[in-house]
Every structure is written in structure tokens, then in C-alpha cells.
Chain A
Amino acid sequence: MLNNASQPDHAVGRSAIDPHRLAQIERRNRRERWGRAWYKFSRNPLSVLGLIMVVTITLMAIFAPFVAPYPQHAEPFTDFANASKPPGGQYLFGTDEIGRDILSRCIFGFRYALVMGVAVLSLVVPVGVLLGLVAGYFQGTIIDTIIMRVTDIFLSVPPLILALAVASVLQPNLTNAMLAVSLMWWPWYTRLVYGLASALRNEYFVVSAETIGAGTGHILFREILPNMVSPILTKMSLDMGWVVIIGSMLSFVGLGVQPPTPGLGTMVAAGARFLPDQWWIAIFPALAIVVVVLGFNLLGDGLRDLFSAEES
């Protein structure tokens, strides 16, 4: 950023040491930075749409019992009198074969989709990032070799199939599905961070910190890590979408959320049996999946554009 305002001005030099004034300046700077970032982000309507979608879905998931028209339909419930009703006034998305409101179940479905995404990422990101960071910084040493060879092994199979295998060996439920996906997901972060870290370790600001005598912890977490927040955040946002897809695939074959709990994948799988006549039973949960994934993808792309514009 070119900026005219930073001309040296000795007259005010000393006054900045006043801690009160200091904090004020820092607060103002921070506000300006956020303001600028938001301005750039908001230039792209698609990014804003993505953010709105993500926020809405999250709020709906959190307040599902209040938002859903028939919250009790997410629990064991039957109403054969209203079974297989097509979309219409009372049931916006129609009802399924035992009379449950599909809209309500989709809203609760968001819940499990997001829980899965958040849980998987909060397990996977710290582990993957830490391993990649250490391996990248100690590139060429035995630490690097061990971490990266193990990572390679995990990366040598499509992650989905390993997750399926692990999930199938364990009891089929949401927790185990999350564990299985997490177990297969960390290497992708390790690989991403490894690449970034092994490039950053040669940057002169890292070398500078070394020649000054900073410790490894400082270099890893204060010098290197802050410089890869943007690609990691971007990947996390895109991955939320992927985890939702994988979660729904697991539930589709019965390895994730167990009925009658409304998992989006489970609902699609169950509804597929009633195609084509009662199409709404499968199609609306399928659309719900697409909406979640779309929201996170738009947000992720928006973040990527924002970060790449920040850097140039």
C-alpha cells in the first residue's frame, strides 16, 4: 500500500509513548484494517452471498428447535395420516413416508452436518498444521522424513475409502464417523502446511529471527504460522463443504447419523426408494446438502480472493 501520510514528522515523535494514546492508535489501526478488509470482501456480491448463507445456516442449526415448524418431527415420530404429502401449504417441503415434515428435518439436518464439519476440522486442523509446520521447518532432517513419509502413506489412498473402512470397523454412529473422517483428513493439512512452511523457512525474516537468537517455538508460532493463516482459513472453509459431502455419503450407506435422527445423507438415501413418484422426499434433503456446500464454497473463494488481493 502506498501511503502519503507516513512522512516523518519529528514534532509528534515523543508523545506516542503515552500508553493511553498508544492503545488508541492501535485500536484505530485495527479498526481501519478490518474496515478495509470488509470493504474489499464486500465488493464481490457472491462472497457476501456465501457469508449470508453460512451465517443463516449456522443460526438455523443452532436455533433449530425454534426455527423448525415441527421440531418434534426430528425425533421418533409417525403420522401416517399425513404420510407422503407433496410440498404445499402446511408442509412446505412435503412429508416423508411416515408423515414427518421434511423442512423441519432438513433444518435439524443442518445441525448434524455442521457439528460433523466443526468437529472434524477442530480435530484435524491443529494436528495437521502442527505436523506440517514442524516437518517443514526441519526440512531435510529425520523429523521431516518420518512425518512426511507417514503422511505420504495416508495420502496414497483416496481419503474416502479409508474413512469408510475405519467407520465400518467401528460402531456406526456420528461420533465414529467424525473420528474416521478426521483420521483421514489431517494429512491434507500437513501437506499444505509443509509446502508453505518449507518455503517460509527460507524467508529472510525467519533467518533474521534465527540470527537474533529466537527459540524454535517463537519461530514456528510467531514468525511462520501467522503467514499461512490465509491459505489455511481458505482451505478450512472449502473443506467444511467437503466434510458435509463426505458425511452425507457415509450416512447414505448407513455409517453416519442413525435413523430416526435426521442426517441429510440418510434422508436422501431413504427417500431414493420412493423415486420418482414421491420425488420430494429425496430431492429436498439433497438440495439442503447443495446449499450448505455452496455457502461454504462461496465464502472460501471470497476469502481466497480477499487474501490474494491483500498480498498484491
Chain B
Amino acid sequence: MQRQADALRRLGLFLARRLVQSIFVLFGLSILIFTIARVLPGDPARTALGARAPQETVDRLREEMHLNDTLPVQYTYWLGDALRGDFGMSLVTRRSVTTDIAEFLPASLELVIFAGVLTLVGGIALGTLSARYKDSWVDNLIRILSYAGVVTPAFIFAIIFLLVFGLALDWLPSIGRLSEGVPKPPLVTGLITVDALLAGQLATFWDALQHLIMPGVALALGSMAQEARITRATMADNLNKDYIAAERALGIPERVVMGRFLLKPSLIPTISIFALDFAANLANAFLVELIFNWPGISRYGVNAMLRKDLNAITAVILILGVVFILMNIVVDLVVGALDPRIRLRAARSD
């Protein structure tokens, strides 16, 4: 009991400290983004209105956007709005950026979570298989495949899938999140598959899942291959550790040594890389989203960039930053749960 309370208290302290650190990082990030948006050449008001807009309109907008104030003042205005969740209007959609993000972020999350599950399950399974049958044909095959996976960018997979399964064979739907005419489930989480299941609309769930497969797999293959390689390398490395020899020397059967005593320490690097890949995929998905016309946040962000829609650009980067930082905290928590040494080190420093 005492130990549990202690552990909880330590967890609380850890989270508190990480959150404080994160706020500093986010603050710095906001300055960085603001700098990119304002200091680089070009007049945001002119950009927003287009080259043909009359000068008076531009001047009025400049006034509205506080562009005539000094940069630090501009920054405070901008930050104040951002903290209230107000990132201004999007030039692309002509809606509030916050509304846009609320719509597009769940679509991206659904895609990335689906890809993440594939990555983790596939990567660990392939890596373990490869390490277990090291130097056999299974191992060699997996290694060659994972090499191919690592060096091929996701958008090339996406194009090939689209070509083969979408267009040539026509097995899977290749555009958007749902087919036309399929009823949308009531909005709860924003993830259509989950919402459909919650509402019991199995047909919708099935359709949404089919839409997920191609972009999800295209996105997952790269990180899956990466995970498989890391898992294999760590396992092969740990297999030569003295503690494995010691456990074998004690007469513990091979199946227990491999499945328990080897697996757990070997998962630590895999998991830490996975969580970071997961967050990075949110941004790296933009070409996959473009190719499959998936209404996700990074496609939105890139469109905003191509149109120089500064409000949307800053908001998207900030949101991705928040997700990235959160995932970093999750990594620390998960790795801490797996590895007592890290837990102990953290405990010693409070």
C-alpha cells in the first residue's frame, strides 16, 4: 500500500516536472513559428488579400492584424489569441482555423493510430521472428523486406498501392474516408471507425475500415520496417548478455527465456522509437493524405502553406508540436514502466 502511494506520488511529480518543461519548449516553439511567419520576407496582409487587392484594404488589414506595432507587441497579441484557441481565419477554407483543426485532426489521428497499431504489431512480430531464427532464410527474407521498407518513402508505396489495388485491381476504395452514400456516424471521437462501432453501424465501420487500409499500410510500412530492424538488433544484442546465459544456466527452459526474459528488455528501444515515429507520421503523412485525398491535418497544413495561409500554418505546427511533446512524455512513461533502472534514476532525483 505504502509502496503504491509512493509510486503514484512519484508519477505525479514526474508528470508535473515534464509538463513544466514542455510549457517552456512550447513557448520557444511559438516564438520560432511566429518568427517564421512574420520576420521572413513578404507582407502577411498583402499575402492574405492577394496581389490585386487595393492598398487601402491592405492597410486596414495591417491595422487589424497589429502589423504596424513592434514585433514583441505583435507576438503578445498573437500569443494571447492562440492561448484562447483563436488562431484567426483560414484563407483557404474561409472558416476559423480552430474549426478546421477540429475537423481535420481526428481524420489524421485515425490514420496514424491505425498505422501505429500495424507498425507496432508487425514490427515486433517480424523483429522477434527474425531474431529467433537468426541467419536462417526467414531472417534473411525479413531483413531484405525491412530494408526495402526503410528506403522506400511512404508516398511511393501510396502510389503503387493506388495503382495496383485501387485502380488496376479495384479491390479497395482509394479516395476519402467514406464512400458516397454511406451514412456518417454521430460525432463522438471524430474517428469514423470508432464512432461507427459506438453507434453500432457495422456497414459504416466496414466501409471506413476499407478506406483506411491503403493509406494506413502505406504510412505504416516504413516505420514497421524500422521497428523490425531495431527489435531484431536489440534482441540479437541481448541474446549475448550474461543474464541470458545465467538464466539458461539455471535450467530455465528456452521458451521462457526467450518469451519472457529476453523479450521485455528488448522491447524498450523499439517502444521509444515507435512513439516518436507515431508523432512524426502525423506530419509525414501529408503526401499519403494528398494521394488518397484523406482530409487530414497535414494535408490541410500543406495546402495552407502552398497558399501562404499564415494563420493556418502556425496553428498546424503548434498542434503538431503539442502532439509530439505529449508523445515524448508517453515514451518516458512507457519506458519507465518497462525499465526499473530509469524509474529508479527518476526517483533519486526528487
Contacts and interface: CB of A to CB of B under 8 A. Distances in A.
A140 to B, nearest CB: 14
Interface stretch (A30-38, A152-160, A210-218): A152-160
Given A153-B28, A156-B29, A156-B324, A254 B153 contact: no
A293 interface: yes
A189 B40 CA distance: 25
A268 to B, nearest CB: 7
Contacts of A168: 305-306, 308, 313
A1 interface: no
A248 B25 CA distance: 30
B42 A161 contact: no
Contacts of B159: 268, 272, 275, 282-283, 286
Interface residues of A, number: 39
A290 B24 CA distance: 39
A170 B306 CA distance: 11
Given A169-B36, A249-B287, A156 B25 contact: yes
A252 interface: yes
B24 A149 contact: yes
B151 interface: yes
A23 B22 CA distance: 56
Contacts, number: 118
Q: How large, as a class, is the contact surface on chain B? A: 35 or more
A136 to B, nearest CB: 20
B202 interface: no
Interface string A148-180: 011011101110111011111110000000000
A226 interface: no
Interface string A260-283: 000000001000100110010011
Contact of B305 (A152, A164, A248, A272): A164
Contacts of B32: 153-154
Nearest to B310: A169
A152 to B, nearest CB: 5
B290 A253 contact: yes
A152 B287 contact: no
A158 B280 CA distance: 5
B53 to A, nearest CB: 19
B236 interface: no
Contact of B291 (A157, A158, A272, A279): A272
Interface stretch (B183-191, B209-217, B314-322, B341-349): B314-322
8 contacts: A149-B28, A156-B324, A157-B321, A160-B280, A165-B313, A253-B286, A282-B159, A297-B147
Interface of A: 149-150, 152-154, 156-158, 160-162, 164-170, 241, 245, 248-249, 252-255, 268, 272, 275-276, 279, 282-283, 286, 289-290, 293-294, 297
Interface of B: 24-26, 28-29, 32-33, 36-37, 40-42, 147, 150-153, 155-156, 159-160, 162-163, 167-168, 279-280, 282-284, 286-287, 290-291, 298, 301-302, 305-306, 308, 313, 316-317, 320-321, 324-325
